Amino acid sequence: MNIVVMKFGGTSVQDPAAIGRTAAIVAGRIAQGKSPVVVVSAMAKVTDSLLRCADIAALGEKDGSVALSAELRARHHKTAAELVKDNAALAAAIDNEFDSLDEILRGLAAIHELTPRISDLIVSYGERLSSRIVADAFRQMGMNGAHVDSREVIITDSEFQKAAPIDDIIDKRAPERLLPLVAEGKVPVMGGFIAANERGLTTTLGRGGSDFSGAIIGGALNASAIEIWTDVDGIMTADPRVCPDALRVKVISFEEAAELAYFGAKVLHPATILPAVKKNIPVFVLNSQNAACEGTRIISVAPHCKSPFKSIAVKKKLAIIDIVASRMLMTHGYMRQIFEVFDKHKCPVDMVSTSEVSVSLTVDSNAQLPEIAADLGKLADVKYEGKKALVCIVGEDIRGQNGIAAQVFSAVKHVNVRMISQGASEINMSFMIEEEDAEEAVRSLHAAFFEHPDPVVFDVDARKPLPAK
């Protein structure tokens, strides 16, 4: 069996036309003799709407919340009706799901308390519904689509909203549940993002987590490839929304892609690469609106590239925390005490810089910042400031090259840089700036480093001219 896991994002299942394109892409893989296992996101914007339903309900506004859910119900019914002819069973299934969602929303409006566990349950409806509709649509289009509830296969810990998969269980369940279907010529269709803990309670893998679901399934089935189908031609040299002249990166290493994802390139969920690395499975990022484009191939060893960098990522909504101690900061055990505070609040730290008397750290802006600062305040003087962005430029061919840092900082010399770091992996350079400067910094770096890109690695033929000013 030549299994290929194909993950389709929200825009690739957003309406009947998109689902039609998705079906044609999957049929194309079957025609090549491959056995697809399909993972889909919720229809575009549905996750955000479900989270809004939950927030409104938690404020006690039952009617507003159920009215928003009714809009979603209508959208799903309309899509199903356009795609599937005799769709009474599908329509009943959609109604069933929305009836149970509405019951939860009414309950939430009565108790006014939204826990991470309830939030995961509410948001799970997006992928539960899209996967159902897509499986039926595939059948209508001549493929043998078989809906599989991901919560039977992807088992996680109980860290709601950012659950971690339990590999040993998934490695057993995925082949048991999916391979017999594939052997019968069926195309399993699963919802991404959603999972369950060992007690069967619904969990999620964090925003953007469907990519991770695809990779988890690909790893557990020893797939020959993991395909991430999205709305851009692949991993680009920068977010094309920020740099319209961004170029497609044809090939990139696991290490570089993981670094980019971690530092905010939304095109991949940060954990996506892990399962692929473990089993050395190539990952492809492809465009469901331009299926003829070969996309980006992510592999363990990328070819040498004459350009130092492959891509630029930006992570926003960060905060910088400055800790100043007049007593000797570097005394034994001091750093441990500081990091214990972050550990206690389960708050990951992105960047650290130290001097004789101070430590600066960057973290995601989050509601716990005042509590973290209060705990740190027991050790030293503490200040924190939000609205920061981390810009990260990645490329493994900078290893051992002299003068790269000078080129990076001369490209952004007009921007006020607060903190600088070159990761231990030596394949990225990152710096912290004000959020409002982020786009300008990315465009300046892009202009400096991607003027003459190596055609072996970048799709230079597709370069679009910058719009005239």
Give whichever of 108 and 394 is closer to ligand ADP, judged by the CB atom. Answer: 394
Count the Cβ atoms, other than its own, within 10 Å of residue 67. Answer: 12
Which CB atom, from 394 or from 432, has the smaller least distance to ligand ADP? 394
**Residue 311 binding partner per list Mg ion, ligand ASP, ligand ADP, none, with a CB distance cut-off of 5 to 8 Å that depends on partner kind:** ligand ADP
Residues that bind ligand ASP (CB under 6 A): 9-10, 41-42, 47, 126, 192-193, 207-211
Do residues 405 and 430 touch, judged by C-beta distance below 8 A? no
Nearer to ligand ASP, 212 or 384 (CB): 212
Rounded (10°) angle between helices 16-31 and 116-140: 70
Among ligand ASP, Mg ion, ligand ADP, none, residue 316 binds (CB under 5-8 Å by kind): none
Q: How far is the CB of 208 from ligand ADP (least distance, A)?
A: 5
Residue 157: burial class (beta carbons within 10 Å; 0-12, 13-18, 19+): middle
Closest approach, Cβ 61 to Mg ion, in A, equals: 29
Q: How far is the CB of 60 from ligand ADP (least distance, A)?
A: 32
Identify whether the C-beta of residue 283 lies closer than 8 Å to the C-beta of residue 215: yes
Which amino acid would we find at residue 363? V
Long-range contacts of the stretch 365-371 (C-beta < 8 A, 24+): 365/317, 365/318, 365/319, 369/319, 369/321, 371/345
Query: What gap in Å lies between CA 458 and CA 139, rounded to an integer?
Result: 38
Alpha-carbon 293 to chain mean position: 22
CA 372 to chain centre: 26
Q: Which alpha helices (H) appear in 266-417, and where do they start and end? A: 273-279, 334-344, 369-376, 404-411
Q: How many other CB atoms are found less than 10 A from the CB of residue 468?
A: 4
Kindly state the smallest distance separating residue 163's Cβ from ligand ASP, in Å.
13
Partner interacting with residue 207 (select from Mg ion, ligand ADP, ligand ASP, none; CB below 5-8 Å by kind): ligand ASP
How far is the CA of 181 from the CAs of 153, 174, 184, 227, 357, in angstroms?
14, 11, 5, 20, 62
For residues 209 and 395, which CB has a smaller minimum distance to ligand ASP in the complex? 209
C-beta nearest to ligand ADP: residue: 9
Minimum CB separation of residue 211 from Mg ion in Å reads: 6
Minimal distance, residue 41 CB to Mg ion, in Å: 7
If contact means CB under 5 to 8 A according to the sort of partner, which of ligand ADP, Mg ion, ligand ASP, none does residue 361 touch?
none
Nearer to ligand ADP, 26 or 84 (CB): 26
Nearer to ligand ASP, 161 or 421 (CB): 161
Binding-site partner at residue 126 among ligand ADP, ligand ASP, Mg ion, none, CB < 5 to 8 Å by type = ligand ASP
Name the residues that contact ligand ADP, by CB under 6 A.
9-11, 41, 208, 230-232, 235-236, 238-241, 265-267, 311
Cβ–Cβ < 8 Å for 51, 77: no
Helices 404-411 + 438-449 axis angle, to 10: 130
* Minimum gap (Å) between residue 347 Cβ and ligand ASP: 21
Contacting residues toward Mg ion, per CB under 5 A: 9, 208
The least distance separating ligand ADP from the CB of residue 399, rounded to whole angstroms, comes to 21
